[in-house]
Amino acid sequence: MPMFRSATPSQNGSNSNIHSAVHSAVHSRAHSPSDFDTSYDDSLRAQLKVRGLLPPHVESFELQKARCLEQIAQKSNTIDKYTYLSNLRNTNTNLFYRLLMDNMKEITPLVYTPVVGEACLKWSHIYTQPEGLYLSYADRGNLRAVLDNWPAEKVDITVVTDGSRILGLGDLGVNGMGIPVGKLALYTGCAGIHPERTLPITLDLGTENEENLKDPLYLGAKMHRVTEAESLEFLDEMMIALNDKWPGLVVQFEDFKNPFPSLERYRNTYTCFNDDIQGTGAVILSGMINALKLTGIPFKDQRLVFMGAGSAAVGVAKQIVQLFVKNGIPEDEARRMFWLVDSKGMVTDDRGDKLQEHKVYFSRDDNEGKQYKTLEEVVDLVRPTGLMGLCTIGGVFTESILRKMASFNDRPIIFPLSNPSSKSECTFAQAMEFTNNKAIFASGSPFPEVEADGVTYYPGQGNNMYVFPGIGLGTVLCESVHVTQEMIYASAVGLADSLTEEERAKSWLYPSLDRIRDISVSVARHVIRASQAENLDKNKTLQWLSDADLDTYIRTKMYNPAHEHSPAGSPTREIHGFDTKPHSKF
């Protein structure tokens, strides 16, 4: 959708610049970029007053997509493909989402990981047009007024980052805007959240990235990061302003270096969740649910080693603890089935350093005074059934470690979960080669299948896009007051349950991304039921629907770019399949 309501000429600009600005403002009010769609028939073109402004041939969706795919193929590198798709999303939203939905496996890596990492690194250098809302520390005390500049009257969901820990790339400051932009594109493509009801937000609270501070093209404030107390004060103002402007909207926090304070601060006051902690945990939990079935080892005998003890690792581990508890293992016993390793070695009570608060829950006290400094030492000690990687150290799952995992287990669980691909703890090919093709594998980044002895093996990818779109959709549809841990857990169960019999027969951990909308329906239904069970849902009418009817309801509420043909402002224009009404969330 157009980002600006009008053009404001500079007071120091020439008359010609002023006239140009006024002309642009008038023209922008006359036409939306989405009006220029070559699939519109003559009647719609006449209604939109674009006859003669479009080439005369009325094209099918298939022809449009063929041209897009041809143009993508002609781009010489991935960042050019990213910028082409970004421009397409801003100039013909419906065509972009038709392309994404019909080519999910091919387009998603170009829209989000891994290419979005490169885009964020270069954001200030490839910038051409606004794609979200920047809330600057300089605007503190005035954030509610800044929100009024956003052109959408209704927002259902926002993704917020402060750019302090983008993927595995570190502090990128405002260059992290690519993350909320990409995440919300997947909310729309995967779960049908209407693009006009989404809001990407990047907080400019400074940066500790010296390259950014020295870069003349860097688009953020040239200052070091504010203190944690100042950051939380800023977030307090933002959360109040957001909920005053759009009451009940869902806030997803993303890529904060320390994500725990904001989540703990707001989870019981606002409708919010953190995808790095909860979404990552849910999608990996879902993969583990299916992986544990394949090992044949009882839950009580599982031993899981984590390489990485940051927020994402702890979030994943706590989700799996919940699975064990729900299957009859006392919590204190369940948490002791985990061994976490960070840059200083195995996390223990007597290691000599002050542990970050989130690590304490899994800290070991049974090491008898001995400190284990490397991952391989811990693997030798524990003889784990599963090895999880969330440390962003590429190749840390060495040949020696992988061969040991295969010697300990008939079907070792190997989950190198770090993004992007260069940070993955091992590749799928390495995991299969060094375990004699026995590994039960899931990664955070995509890897190609492996051919061995006439058999094709397919890697699982524990991509958060399996769950967070459905979490958001379910939360919005039932108008849940909060996003609770039970709802996050339910999203994992919904994903695990979405496998087809054919996929289970192939020992897949995750379903095909070609079915992402059906998957999101399953996730959303489970999230809605969990919210209802806790009496957090404000849309009580959904409680009376059977599961089958609820699935139908969810599908009818999902944005379908193939059906968005009526002009903006028309009373027949539909959002999520229903005529919009002032009191409706959709």
Identify the CA nearest to 313 among candidates 273, 268, 347, 348.
347
Kindly state the tokens that stand for 396: 């840390």
Exposure string of 151-183, with b = 16+ CB inside 10 Å and e = fewer, is eeebbbbbbbbbbbbbbbbebbbbbbbbbbbbb
Is residue 276 a known part of a binding site? yes
Contact (CB, 8 A) for 159 and 252: yes
Active-site residue flag, 458: no
Is residue 243 a known part of a binding site? no
Is residue 549 a known part of a binding site? no
Is residue 255 a known part of a binding site? yes
Active-site residue flag, 183: yes
How far, CA to CA in Å, does 93 sit from each of 2, 87, 148? 10, 9, 23
Annotated catalytic residue within 40, 112, 270, 553 = 112
For residues 110 and 82, what is the distance between their CA atoms, to the nearest angstrom? Answer: 6
Kindly state the tokens that stand for 253: 């926090």
Cβ contacts of 268 within 8 Å, gap of 6 or more: 482
Cβ contacts of 576 within 8 Å, gap of 6 or more: 192, 194, 556, 557, 558, 559, 586
For residues 276 and 274, what is the distance between their CA atoms, to the nearest angstrom? Answer: 6
Beta bridge partners of 276: none
One-letter amino acid identity for 299? F
Contact (CB, 8 A) for 493 and 286: yes
Annotated catalytic residue within 40, 81, 97, 183 = 183
DSSP of 170-227: ---GGGGGHHHHHHHHHHHHHH---GGGEEEEEEE-----HHHHH-TT--S-SSPPPP
Is residue 564 a known part of a binding site? no
For residues 66 and 471, what is the distance between their CA atoms, to the nearest angstrom? Answer: 32
Contact (CB, 8 A) for 154 and 197: yes
Is residue 419 a known part of a binding site? yes
- Binding site feature residues for a divalent metal cation: 254-255, 276
Binding residues for (S)-malate: 165, 419, 463
**Among all residues, which ones are annotated catalytic?**
112, 183
Binding-site entries:
165, 254-255, 276, 419, 463
